[in-house]
Structure 1
Amino acid sequence: MPSDTVSASDNALTLLPLPEFNSLSQAQVRGATCVWDGVPLTAETAVDLGERRVRRITERVSWFPRACRPCALKQAMDALLEHGQSCEQCVDDSSLCPVGLTLTRAIREARR
């Protein structure tokens, strides 16, 4: 789940929870296919989900997952809905919640 601190310079899509790294195919890890549904991606159809770090045996390595637009949009909308249900700030005034605003930005980025 997204953290409570989000910088304005963050790629909003990095807040989206991903499938378990070890459950992904090589093509999904390489970014050749969507991390959620395995659909083949091109430079035009891919949505960059930002750098992620994963522990591999004795070290942490970076990887750069990608998704198709429909999956990125669905995941962003689901994350915003889940966050909004448990965030007091979003209930009071969603325009003041940095996580909610960033997830809303993730929805816009997925729609581009």
Structure 2
Amino acid sequence: MPSDTAGTQPALAVLPLPELGSLTQDQARGATCVWDGTRLTGETAVDLGPRRDDDGVWFPRACRPCAQGQAMDALIQHSGACEQCVDDHNRCPEGSTLVRAVREARR
């Protein structure tokens, strides 16, 4: 998880994304979901936070079902391997961020 996104970015900015080069132009510019290609509107899009690559900054977006599923998958994967999260996810910065990501995706 990128440490520079935890404080100022949405929690969803920590989710891993497909490689930029594998996305269509619409996915790369946020017109469609980065995961399933669903057409997005201002009401249906979930902002995944700015991402940096060799060519600069891009602004991926997703549909709510994909964002929530990816956030939940990341939380399950992390918490299954994190001793702190087994006891209390509030003691783990990554676990807490992923819990926030799940909540942000629901909004």
TM-score normalised by L of structure 1 = 0.88
Q: Does residue 87 of the first structure (1) align with residue 86 of the second (2)?
A: no
SS of 2:88's partner is: helix
1:21 matched residue in structure 2: 20
1:62 to 57, 69, 78: 57
Cα pair 2:27 2:37 within 8 Å, conserved: yes
C-alpha distance in 2, partners of 1:6/1:28? 21
Give 4+ residue runs of structure 1 displaced > 2 Å after superposition. Answer: 3-10
* CA distance in 2 between partners of 1:91 and 1:5 (Å): 25
5+ residue gaps in structure 1? none
For residues 88 and 3 of structure 2, the distance between their equivalents in structure 1, rounded to whole angstroms, comes to: 16
C-alpha contact (below 8 Å) 1:95/1:101 kept by paired residues: yes
- 2:25 alignment partner AA: Q
Give the unaligned 5+ runs of structure 2.
Answer: none
Q: Which has the larger radius of gyration?
A: 1
Distance 1:26 1:4, change over 3 A: closer
Q: Are the equivalent residues in 1 in contact too, given 2:85–2:91 (CA < 8 A)?
A: yes
Determine helix, strand or coil for the equivalent of 1:10: coil
